[in-house]
Amino acid sequence: MSSRERILGRVRRALADVPRDDTPPVPEGPGRDPQYEQAVSRAYVREHGSRSVAETVDLLAENLADYRAIVHRCTADDLAATIAGILAARGSGTVLVPPGLEPEWLTAADVEQVPDRAASTPHELDRVDSVVTACAVAVAETGTIVLDGSPDQGRRRITLVPDHHVCVVRVPDQVVSSVPQALERLDPARPSTWISGPSATSDIELDRVEGVHGPRTLEVILVG
């Protein structure tokens, strides 16, 4: 008997005298136990209000800025120049690059490109000036960028250790209104990182400190 089977057996024994209507719902998928399933209404609100595509993108930009991210807008033709301008203004000499990032994005940037390597140590990553990635999806209502470790986003740690993160969001294809809509696009088997503005925390006196758990500066480019 595996550890999983042993634990599930204990749960079943503990719930043996619980009426079916009182049991929590069990999600669909492998490992579900029909014995403890019940019908659950899923008629909750999936997004708040009705917005056009342009209004949804505007809301994303507004909420990103509210979280102190720096928001840029450009066309696909201007993306390389926009990234180059951001890196130059930052004074970045080295940029961490995921393996699947579009090579054209950095053609105008006068920087040393550092590949995303499994062997890189936290100290090596900390010495990199900036990291440039794409994203999996962006949520307008919460101002959230989601990364899922795809080749154009790289390993999770490359967006947590460097102090400056430039994230490219393709508009409108990668923008959704709500968290439920974002979850539908994500593979639950992949690691996901949800980013709402630069990393920050506050102590008991509400003194805000940025850069504690991730980049101190987040710049988001909405390209369309």
pLDDT digits (tens, 9 = 90+) for 69-104: 999 999 999 999 999 999 999 999 999 999 999 999
Task: With CA atoms as reference, report the closest residue to 106 among 83, 72, 76, 73.
Answer: 83
121 and 192, same domain (yes or no): yes
Lowest mean pLDDT among 19-23, 35-39, 122-126, 178-182: 35-39
Ordered strands of the 144-147 beta sheet: 175-176, 137-139, 144-147, 193-195
202 and 150, same domain (yes or no): yes
Whether residue 195 has pLDDT greater than 80: yes
Our count of domains for the chain comes to 2
Residue 211: is it exposed, middle or buried by C-beta count within 10 angstroms (0-12/13-18/19+)?
Answer: middle
| Token couple for 89 | 């203004």
31 and 78, same domain (yes or no): no
Q: Is residue 48 part of a domain?
A: no
Q: Is residue 134 part of a domain?
A: yes
For residues 171 and 49, give the distance between their C-alpha atoms in angstroms, rounded to a whole number: 20
| Cα of 194 vs its chain's centroid, Å | 3
Q: Is residue 93 part of a domain?
A: yes
Tell me which residue range forms the domain holding 16: 3-36
Average pLDDT, the chain: 88
Counting residues of the chain whose pLDDT is more than 70, the rounded percentage is: 88
Lowest mean pLDDT among 53-57, 78-82, 183-187, 202-206: 202-206
Whether residue 49 has pLDDT greater than 90: no
Q: Is residue 42 part of a domain?
A: no
Task: With CA atoms as reference, report the closest residue to 152 among 168, 130, 129.
Answer: 168
Predicted structure pTM score = 0.78
Q: Is residue 43 part of a domain?
A: no
28 and 62, same domain (yes or no): no
Render pLDDT for 116-152 as a digit per residue (tens, 0 to 9). Answer: 999 999 999 999 999 999 999 999 999 999 999 999 9
Q: Is residue 44 part of a domain?
A: no
219 and 131, same domain (yes or no): yes
